[in-house]
Amino acid sequence: MIYSLQPRDISIDTGQAKQREWHMDIAHSCSFKSYFDLLTSIDPAIEAEWNRTGAWKGVHLKAGQLVGHIGAQTLDFGVYDYGITLPGFVVPSHYDSEPWKVHTVDPFPYFPEGIRDALLQKMLRHVEPRAGKIDHDVDGRLVGNWFQRGTNGYKGLNPSRYWDGHRAFVPDAIDPSRWIFSAGNFSGEARSFALAGVDGNAPDPSVVSTETGLVKYQLVQAPGMTPSPPTGQLQMFGVVLVQMTGTRTLKCEAFPGKSASEVAGFTALAKMYER
pLDDT in tens, 158-207: 998 999 999 999 999 999 989 999 999 999 999 999 998 765 556 899 99
Whole-angstrom distance, CA of residue 142 vs CA of residue 124: 27
Nearest C-alpha neighbor of 142 from the set 178, 173, 168, 108: 168
Angstrom distance (rounded) from CA 132 to CA 222: 17
Q: Is the confidence at residue 232, as pLDDT, over 60? A: no
Alpha carbon 191 to its chain centroid, in Å, reads 12
Angle at alpha carbon of residue 135, lines to 184 and 133, rounded to 5°:
100
Which residue, 98, 104, 100, is CA-closest to 159? Answer: 98
- Dihedral of CA atoms 224, 227, 233, 234 in degrees, nearest 10, equals -60
Question: Can you give the pLDDT at residue 15?
Answer: 77
Burial class (CB in 10 A: 0-12, 13-18, 19+), 240: buried
What percentage of the chain has pLDDT greater than the value 90?
Answer: 79
Cα–chain center distance at 112: 27
Task: Give the pTM.
Answer: 0.88
CA distances from 136 to 46, 161, 172, 187, 205 (A): 38, 23, 11, 25, 11
Tens digits of residue pLDDT in 114-171: 999 999 999 999 999 999 999 999 999 999 999 999 999 999 999 989 999 999 999 9
